[in-house]
Structure 1
Amino acid sequence: MKQTPIFFSQIFNHFNQKLEEKNYPLIFILVDENTHEHCLPQFLSEMEGAHTIEIIEIPAGEENKTIDIAIQVWETMTEMNATRKSLMINLGGGMVTDLGGFIASTFKRGIDFINFPTSILSMVDAAVGGKTGIDHNGIKNIIGTFALPVGTFIHPEFLQTLPKREFWSGLAEMLKHGLIYDKNHWENLINLENLNPESVSVLISDSVQIKTEIIDNDPFESGIRKILNFGHTIGHAIESEFLETENHLLHGEAIAIGMMVESILSFENELISKEELDEIFTHLVRIFGKFSIPEDLIPNLFHWMKHDKKNQNDQISFSLLDGIGKCKYDILLNENQISEGILMYNRKLANS
C-alpha cells in the first residue's frame, strides 16, 4: 500500500486538476461546525469548474467520532443518491479525516476520498498514512480500515483558523516524530524562538516525510510502523478516561502526557539516559504544561490499555525510546512497572 500524493504547494491547482481528471458526478464535503464557518468559504472560492456539491456538517469533537455519526452520514449520502463514483472531501481536523475516511472506505465498499486537513494534528498524523477509524464505547479507533485517499492537500493557511489550544495540541505528534526517528527534527522544534503557525508550518513537511518514510516500509503495522505509537498506549488511555469529563483533554495534550510517562518507562528500562529524560520532560512541560494523573484513576487506565490494538497475549505492549531519535517496539511491561512509571511521572512533575 504505497502512499498516494501529498501536496504542499500550488495545492489548489493540483486539486482542481484532480477533479477535472476524475470528473466526479457528485462531490460531498464533510465538515464540522468549525471548519464549516472558518475554512469552507475559502475552500469553495478556490474550487474551479461546474460540480454538483453537497455539504455534510457533523458536530465537532472526538466524542462524535462514533458509529452513530457514521450511520447518519451514510444515510444522508444514500438519500442524495451517492454512487461508487462519488467523491468525499474531508475538510477538517483529525476527527473529520479519521471519520470521513472510514465513511468513504466503507460506503458501497469504498468510494474515493480526498483529505484537506485543517489542523497540525491532521496535517502530520491523522490525514497521512492510510488509517481511518471511529471510537466505540470510549475505546479509541477500535473500528477502522486501511484506506488511502486519492490525495492529501496541506494548506498551512488553515492553521490561522485554529484556537490556540488546538494549535498546541497538534505539536505533540510533530515532537513525537523527532523523538522516535529524527533527533534533528526534535531539536529544530524545541529551538524555535516563537511557536506559532508561521514558524511551525515550515517543519510540517519534515514531519510528514518522517511518517511517510516509516509507513512506506511497513504499511500495515507489522513492524517499524509500531514506533508511531510511542506515547499512545498511555496517552490514549488518558484521553479515553477524560473524554467526557470537565477535564477533557485534546488528543495531543493526552499524547504529550503519554510521551512523558513512556519516556520514564524508557529510562527505567535503561533505554535512555537521565539527561535525555530530563531534556524531554523539560520541553514537553514547557510546551504543554503540567497535568498530574490521579493515583486512584490508575486502575481505570489499565481498563483502557487492555483494549489497545498492539497488545500481545494479555500483556500491554509499548514502543519506547532507544535514545532521542530512535525507538524500539513490542516491549511488554507488567502492571507494576506501568503503575510505578505513572507515579514517577507525578513525582517528577511536582518537582519540575
Structure 2
Amino acid sequence: MKTFDYSRADSPEAAVAAFATGARFIAGGTNLLDLMKLQIETPERLVDISRLDLAGIAETADGGLSIGALVPNSDLAADRRIIQGYPVLSRALLAGASGQLRNKATTGGNLLQRTRCSYFYDTAMACNKRAPGSGCSAIGGFNRILAILGTSDQCIATHPSDMAVAMRALDAMIVTLKPDGDRRRIAIGDLYRLPGDTPQIETLLEPGELITHVELPPPPKGAQLYRKVRDRASYAFALVSVAGVVSVENGRIASAALAFGGLGPMPWRDAAVEAALVGEPPSTAAFEAAAAALLTDARGFGSNDFKIPLTRRLLIACLRDLTDGPGAAR
C-alpha cells in the first residue's frame, strides 16, 4: 500500500471542503482498503467521514424514509421499518457479503463499490476501467460472472451491489453535497453510467461530491421479493439477481417494478419489462413477454452465455411467486 495523507472530517461541509485532487472519502472501507492494498486505488489523501452524524434512519413527511449514508448494512437490514415496508431491501442486504462485512459496510459505500471483475483486480492484465486505453481482458477471457446487458467494446464488468438492485426497484433518491455547498437529489437510475468509451467513469458524481442520504418513497403496494442465484449459499456475488415489487388488482397486474443484478454495469431496470406486465393477467404468456423484453439486446461473451437462459427462467419463477404468493393482491 502506498503512503497517503489522512484527515478526519467533523461535518459533511468540512469533508467536501477537505477533498482535493487525488483524494478519496473513506467510511467502512470494506472495498476501498482492498483496492488500496492491491494498488488498484492509490489515493494521495483519505478523508475519513466515519464519525459524521449520518448514521440515522428517519421518517419523511410523505411517509418514506431518509437513510443516512453511514448506516451500516446490518442495521439497515434489521430496522423494523425496512422489514415491514421494504422487505425487498432487507432481503437484498442480507444476501450480500458476510455478517462481519455488513456490520462495517455503509449505505453510501455500498452504492459506490467497484466491480469484482477478476481482470480489474489483476494489475498484470489489461483493463480499461482500471487503466483506460489498455484493453479489456474479460472480452475473450473468463467472463462467467460478467455482464450481458449494457456492455461496450471497452468493458463488460458488472456492478456488484445487492442493496443497489433493491434500491433501484424502490425508486430510491440519492442526496449529495457538492464542494461548492450545493445539494442535489439524484434518482438512483440516473446515478450510474454505462461504460461506453469511458468505463472508468462509473457515476454522475463530481469530484468531491459526497453522498449524505438515500431517500425511499412511501412503501409500495404489492408483494416484494429478492432472489439471488450464486455459486454458493453465502459470501458470493450474484450471477443473476431479481428485486421485484408487483401488485395485482382485479385479476390483473396493476404495477410492477423489477430490477436486476449480475446482468449489467449498473443495477439494471428496463421499462419495457414492466410495460409487458402491467394491465395483463398473471400468466406464463405475460411472464415470457417480460423476459423477452429484458433479454432482447442480451449478449453473452462465451463463459457467461448461460446467463441468458438462466435469467429468463429466474424472472418467470419470480413473477409467479410475486403474483401467486401472499401479499400479491392488496
TM-score by length of 2: 0.32
In terms of fraction of residues, the more helix-rich structure is: 1
TM-score by length of 1: 0.31
